[in-house]
Amino acid sequence: MDPLSWTGQIAFLTPLLTLVFGLLGLSVLSWIVLNAVLPENRAINSAGGSLSLSSGPRDIASLAVKLCFLAATLLIFSYLVLGLILGTQAGIIGAMARQFLPVWIALVLLFTLSIAFKRRLGLYGKLFDSPIGMIGFALVMFWVFTGVFGAFDMIVTHDDPLAQISGLKNKVPGTPLRSPGEGDFQWYLLGGDNLARDVFSRTVKGAWEVVKIAPLATLFAFMVGITLGLPAGYFGGRLDTLLSFLANLILAFPVILLFYLLVTPEIVQTGLPQYMAIVLFSFPLIFFAVLINSRFRTQPSKNYLWLAIVLLPLLMLYLLVVNDPGSKVDFLTKTIDIIDIPGGILVVFVSVVFVNSPTVFRIVRGLAMDIKTRDYVAAAQTRGERPWYIMLWEVLPNARGPLIVDFCLRIGYTTILLGTLGFFGLGLPPESPDWGSTINEGRKLLMIYLHPALPPAIALLSMVLGLNLLADGLREESLKD
Amino acid sequence: MNKLAEHNGPTLEIEKLSFSFFTRLREIPAVMDFSVAVQPGEAVGLVGESGCGKSTVALGVMQDLGKNGRIVGGSIKFKGRDLAEMSAEELRDVRGNEIAMIYQEPMASLNPAMKIGRQLMEVPMIHEGVSEQEARSRALEVVTDVRLPDPERMLNSYPHQLSGGQQQRIVIAMALMSKPALLILDEPTTALDVTVEAAVVELVRDLGKKYGTSMLFISHNLGLILETCDRVCVMYSGEAVERGSIADVFDDMQHPYTQALFRSIPLPSADKNAHPLVAIPGNFPLPHERPPGCNFGPRCDYFEAGRCDSGQIPMADVAGNDRHATRCVKFQEIDWNAPIEIGEQKEKTEPGKVVLKIENLKKYYEVAANALFGGGAKKVVKANETLSFEARESETLAIVGESGCGKSTFAKVLMGLETATEGQILLDGQNIEQTAIEARDTRTISDVQMVFQNPFDTLNPSMTVGRQIIRALEIFDVGTSDQERQQRMLELLDLVNLPRAFAERMPRQLSGGQKQRVGIARAFSGGARIVVADEPVSALDVSVQAAVTDLLMEIQRKEKTTLLFISHDLSIVRYLSDRVMVMYLGHVVELGSTDQVFAPPYHPYTEALHSAVPIADTSIVKEHIVLEGDIPSAMDPPSGCPFQTRCRWKNEVPGGLCDSEVPPVRQREAGHQIKCHLSDEVLQRMSPVIKMAAE
């Protein structure tokens, strides 16, 4: 087998792309210069409201920027499409495009359906009116689908992210396997790392590590932040002072140091992370209990029914998660304890929730302080509603806009945090394919072999960028009406 | 930088102007075919309901329509020059220099981080490049002109150190700094209290004369337009429907909308039983759902299919009047002087037994001087001072007063959100003043309910209308099953004249008036017997106000409710209340039946209040009373009589009694009481503030 080149048969596109990028840069530059030099332009209104084409150098420049941008997008798109058609004949790019085929299909389906029904989908539908939001959403969903499909081994070229294949140590992208077995993929698409593992497969596997931890941890942080932030903002006074002080205390503590402390074997042995888990994981229970109870307070039969439906499964899940045989918290017999979270992941989870919740707390507290002055809150008070009903059913739903935006941003922060944890080798097992660990390993040989460190870094960057753009899009669209 | 050359024609001439806003869904025409001319020194009023495009016109004149707003036809000429053709540079010179604008919210127009003096001096320094000394002396001069006490100190203070009225005066001063040719006032007094409003309006009028400035005065209040302007332009749904001189439009109106508008505002001649207000049927059309032909057509009494709903209707001049034009195809056929068809006359309901009795109610707040550590001396804010009155079944008691008079505190104590400091509240002979809302039983809570002021804030935006009413029913233990409550909720929607389909709607899909109706339905869901209505209509448009007021009256007749109507608008109070209680700084200064309070002898504060409320009736002559200064802070009330700092009768009381002693409550005939030191002879001497000119 020959080594794969980057572009294979579609190499003819590369000079074109270089040219277009050059032009784009040039047009952007001239547009900036023209805008700075020329006097301010006033939209003089042409009759009928249609803007005429090309008048003055400013308009030409902005047109050029638009055209170049369009051309660049088209070229990149054609790389992907041609790659999909040609497969490995189009080099590494083609092979990767084909590997990601399930992701492309899922993305296209998602976007067509969403755009077709966007008027009926509320805020989510409005997202498809904002180009920024759409790009962000596409990036995020790309990695989400990659993570999910990757977990089912649909994308990876080499199923086991730990498998080492001799002779591929630190080999450049596109290196063929020396003696491929029957049905094996023939190349290491993005090369091998210093333990001769496939970088491409590990990056895809790493996406699952992020996708399974980051949103869930953020959700838990929100549960904690909301459950504490609402009463702090609503009641104010001493309670607020106390809770805010605690939040500040946690915020003031260096995050990395905290992580180092939490994963120290001595600390783990005292059971501290598990006790923290007991406290932090109980918040969703409290949240849902109060949510349901306040809503159905006046109708006891309904109340108990709903409480039972929601709380019993949650409580079971809680006990199963918290219980860990052989540790300090071990009260269930082995036969019942069917869910077992690896200690490392639990520590990571707990620490991420712990450091994220104070910030959520502050946001919720601020929003609650603002919303509690509204008349509908006063109306609820004058009809004798209890405080928790007001907080959870009158205040919280109306604070959802900023909270959704922050949720997206915070998944991004959590992703970075997970990367950091992996980079320092905290919590997760050392051979784990998560991006942080992979970057750290690649870093050690960075001067000699660049390729093992770059793909996970780019993956991390694009996912966080996507989340930020998504949050921007959501914010922008939620402000419009 | 110089001003534009002098020009002989009108200062501002808007001709056949049309604006549109372009959203991602469609083009929304905001203003269509709008023409108006403002002559030098003339004040033109622009009146209309919210959403009719009057503020858009102002922004269009300033050429500040934002990104998606665009002029799609017509022209705006300022001193003969088309503003749309000016370059950005030229526009910058015109804005703030030749055309100045005053907005509704004074605090939002001033930079909170800059001293007043600096902000004022900026104007001539930027536009005329004068030296700092000269700018300062000019600033001092205008601040004196807007009649602010102690101008030097004013210049050295920050905006937050001034009261709302003072801030608005500063904004006016800033607008006048460059001696503009045109002043645009966009609802300049809506955020102010009535007595303060009266003073500011007078100031604007006087200054307009002194500086010879043309004015474009935007307001929803016809009375205010009458007091300030020479000419008026009535707008409806993006179009000017009638324009002409004040006398022509007010007394010789030629458009059905103008006529309907006047019939729906409570003039002194209206009466809730004999001459009820005539509400305009239907709703204001949304900008993208305007009917073909005449926009007012679907709501018009004179509508004629085939004529009114086809084609563009142009402005037509009314013969015989001075520059009087109307946008109605039938104005020559309609008999404008035909008497109003008097709707069903209502029986006056007799007040029943006493339901609510307040005795010597006091509510004091303790405010710690040092909020952080709770130490230091404590200040006492006396929000309510010896409140005593009774309210009977199916009676409307109006509580009148300006901000800080303690009416909201009283409502809170009554509702149980606060507990009283002293005195008692008896509901059916039971004390409730010390029972907080958590401790009250369901019956008491559902008996005393409240309707809130701001319709946009009164409903939870993320819950359907039906769900919110059902929640109230659940809380009040009405009905035993979900079906029963669902049924009751639909009946409540019927009660407030809303279609049943609204149950599934979200509040944002409702107009202000409809939201207020839902608020009323919610308040009555537990069969409330006492309803506190906190300015329930003041945030609504005039045409909707009448309908909501009527609805309240209707329900009251049916349910024999006691209505505590909190308001600062004396016109509406006169229209609907049986008894009136006037409050000032926590004190009840006057209490009596509506006739007693609206006729002399008055308490001096009541008298000023009567004079301050603008009335949109040219045949009314008001005695002109302008109160000096602002309402004192409740944190630091004056000694003696609370009103003594602004009272014009103070020197009639011998021995400086007003400064030293709180006046006693003086009982006059049949339940009329006044809290004043003035002797009986002086009180007898008072003449009515409002008179019909014919008398």
| 3-state SS record for A131-162 | HHHHHHHHHHHHHHHHHHHHHCCCCCCCCCCC
Query: What is the DSSP pairing of strand B562-567 with strand B530-534?
Result: parallel
A427 and A278 in one domain?
yes
Distance, in Å, from the CA atom of A219 to the CA atom of A411, rounded to the nearest integer, reads 9
* Number of structural domains chain A divides into: 2
A308 and A434 in one domain?
yes
DSSP letters for A312-324: HHHHHHHHHHH--
How much is the average pLDDT of B444-468? Answer: 87
The DSSP output letter for B386 is E
Q: Are A47 and A84 in contact (CB under 8 A)?
A: no
Q: Is the Cβ pair B453, A382 closer than 8 Å?
A: no
Question: What is the three-class DSSP state of A338?
Answer: coil
In the predicted model, is pLDDT for residue B373 greater than 80?
no
How much is the average pLDDT of B12-37? Answer: 83
Domain of A404 in residue numbering reads as: 201-471
A94 and A239 in one domain?
no
What's the first-to-final CA gap in chain A, in angstroms? 58
A379 and A261 in one domain?
yes
How much is the average pLDDT of B565-582? Answer: 86
How much is the average pLDDT of B568-596? Answer: 85
Q: Is the Cβ pair A398, B476 closer than 8 Å?
A: no
Tokens 């109610």 appear where? B361
What is the structure's pLDDT at B372? 52
Distance, in Å, from the CA atom of B610 to the CA atom of B570, rounded to the nearest integer, reads 7
CA distances in angstroms from B667 to A366, B24, B295, B386, B500, listed in the order given: 50, 65, 54, 15, 50
A414 located within any domain: yes
CA B654 from chain centre, in angstroms, equals: 38
Residue among A44, A129, A376 minimizing CB distance to B459 = A376
Q: Are B415 and B532 in contact (CB under 8 A)?
A: yes
Q: Decide which of B283 and A257 is more confident.
A: A257
B87: which 2 tokens? 């370059």
The minimum CA-CA distance between A254 and chain B, rounded to whole Å, is 28
For the ranges A251-255, B177-181, B627-631, which has the lowest average pLDDT? Answer: B627-631
How much is the average pLDDT of B182-189? Answer: 85
Q: Is the Cβ pair B475, A298 closer than 8 Å?
A: yes
Q: Which residues of A touch B522 (CB under 8 A)?
A: 379, 383
State which residue of chain A sits closest to B534, comparing Cα positions: A375
A319 and A437 in one domain?
yes
Q: Are B421 and B383 in contact (CB under 8 A)?
A: no
A93 and A205 in one domain?
no
pTM, full prediction: 0.82
What is the structure's pLDDT at B638? 80
| 3-state SS record for B406-470 | CHHHHHHHHHCCCCCCEEEEEECCEECCCCCHHHCCHHHHHHEEEECCCCCCCCCCCCCHHHHHH
Model pLDDT for residues A257-275, shown as the tens digit of each residue: 888 888 787 888 888 888 8
Distance, in Å, from the CA atom of B171 to the CA atom of B154, rounded to the nearest integer, reads 13
What is the structure's pLDDT at A464? 92
A274 located within any domain: yes
Helix (DSSP H) and strand (DSSP E) numbers for chain A: 18, 2
In the predicted model, is pLDDT for residue B202 greater than 50?
yes
Specify burial of residue B370 (Cβ count, 10 A radius: 0-12, 13-18, 19+).
Answer: exposed
What is the structure's pLDDT at A48? 42
A150 located within any domain: no
Q: Which residues of B touch A477 (CB under 8 A)?
A: none
Q: What percent of chain B has pLDDT over 90?
A: 0
Q: Which residues of A touch B16 (CB under 8 A)?
A: none
Which residues are within 8 A (CB) of B485 and not within 5 positions of it... i.e. 6 or more apart?
Answer: B470, B473, B474, B478, B479
What is the structure's pLDDT at A43? 52
What's the first-to-final CA gap in chain B, in angstroms? 55
A169 located within any domain: no
CA distances in angstroms from B631 to B190, B196, B538, B628, listed in the order given: 16, 8, 20, 9
Q: Is the Cβ pair B88, A45 closer than 8 Å?
A: no
A84 and A211 in one domain?
no
A423 located within any domain: yes
Q: Give the CATH number, domain containing residue A304.
A: 1.10.3720
Q: Is the Cβ pair A382, B415 closer than 8 Å?
A: yes
Q: Are A11 and B32 in contact (CB under 8 A)?
A: no
Distance, in Å, from the CA atom of A69 to the CA atom of A24, rounded to the nearest integer, reads 6
Distance, in Å, from the CA atom of A408 to the CA atom of A410, rounded to the nearest integer, reads 5
Residue among B71, B73, B457 minimizing CB distance to A375 = B457
Q: Are B511 and B283 in contact (CB under 8 A)?
A: yes
Q: What percent of chain A has pLDDT over 90?
A: 31
Task: Name the nearest CA neighbour of B17 among B91, B99, B76, B80.
Answer: B76
Model pLDDT for residues B612-625, shown as the tens digit of each residue: 888 877 777 777 77
Residues 418-477 of A with CB under 8 A from B: none
A104 located within any domain: no
Q: Answer whether A48 touches B (CB < 8 Å).
A: yes
Query: pLDDT grade, residue B695 (50/70/90)?
Result: very low
A236 located within any domain: yes
Q: Answer whether A379 touches B (CB < 8 Å).
A: yes
In the predicted model, is pLDDT for residue B631 greater than 80?
no
Angle between helices B132-145 and B164-176 (to 10 degrees): 130
A58: which 2 tokens? 């400013």
In the predicted model, is pLDDT for residue B444 greater than 70?
yes
What is the structure's pLDDT at A49? 42
Distance, in Å, from the CA atom of B119 to the CA atom of B158, rounded to the nearest integer, reads 10
What is the structure's pLDDT at B512? 81
- Domain endpoint, select from A99, A120, A149: A99
How much is the average pLDDT of B54-61? Answer: 83
Tokens 């009164």 appear where? B458
What is the structure's pLDDT at A50? 43
How much is the average pLDDT of B21-37? Answer: 82
Task: Name the nearest CA neighbour of B474 among B426, B525, B534.
Answer: B525
Query: pLDDT grade, residue A51 (50/70/90)?
Result: very low
Tokens 């503009």 appear where? B180
ipTM summary value: 0.80
Residue among A40, A379, A394 minimizing CB distance to B452 = A379
State which residue of chain A sits closest to B453, comparing Cα positions: A375
Determine the residue type at B554: E
Distance, in Å, from the CA atom of A336 to the CA atom of A334, rounded to the nearest integer, reads 6
Q: Could you tell me which residues of chain B have a Cβ less than 8 Å from any Cβ in chain A?
A: 20, 22, 24, 27, 70-73, 84-89, 91, 415-417, 437-438, 440, 442, 445-446, 449-450, 452-454, 457-463, 472, 474-477, 519, 522, 526
What is the structure's pLDDT at A108? 93
What is the structure's pLDDT at A52? 45
Query: pLDDT grade, residue B345 (50/70/90)?
Result: low
Distance, in Å, from the CA atom of B44 to the CA atom of B208, rounded to the nearest integer, reads 12
Query: pLDDT grade, residue A53 (50/70/90)?
Result: very low
Query: pLDDT grade, residue B376 (50/70/90)?
Result: low
Query: What is the DSSP pairing of strand A187-188 with strand B43-47?
Result: unpaired
Q: Is the Cβ pair A375, B442 closer than 8 Å?
A: no
What is the structure's pLDDT at A88? 80
Q: Answer whether A42 touches B (CB < 8 Å).
A: yes
* Long-range CB contacts (within 8 A, 24+) of B288-295: B288/B26, B288/B28, B290/B29, B290/B237, B290/B238, B294/B327, B294/B328, B294/B329, B295/B236, B295/B237, B295/B238, B295/B239
Q: Are A3 and A9 in contact (CB under 8 A)?
A: no
In the predicted model, is pLDDT for residue A225 greater than 90?
yes
A467 located within any domain: yes
Q: Are A480 and A151 in contact (CB under 8 A)?
A: no
Residue among B88, B450, B519 minimizing CB distance to A42 = B88
How many Cβ atoms sit within 10 Å of the Cβ of residue B451?
28
How much is the average pLDDT of B402-424? Answer: 83
Q: Which residues of A touch B24 (CB under 8 A)?
A: 129
Average of per-residue pLDDT values in chain B: 82
Q: Answer whether A397 touches B (CB < 8 Å).
A: yes
A212 and A95 in one domain?
no
B246: which 2 tokens? 């004040």
Which residues are within 8 A (CB) of B306 and not within 5 positions of it... i.e. 6 or more apart?
Answer: none
Model pLDDT for residues B246-267, shown as the tens digit of each residue: 888 888 888 888 888 888 888 7
What is the structure's pLDDT at B693? 64
A387 and A257 in one domain?
yes
Q: Decide which of B86 and B399 is more confident.
A: B399
State which residue of chain B sits closest to A400, comparing Cα positions: B462
The minimum CA-CA distance between B526 and chain A, rounded to whole Å, is 9
Q: Which residues of B touch A306 (CB under 8 A)?
A: none
Distance, in Å, from the CA atom of B233 to the CA atom of A347, rounded to the nearest integer, reads 71
Which of A406-410, A429-433, B158-162, B550-554 is predicted most confidently? Answer: A406-410
What is the structure's pLDDT at A481? 57
Q: Which residues of A touch B442 (CB under 8 A)?
A: 384
A71: which 2 tokens? 């051309």
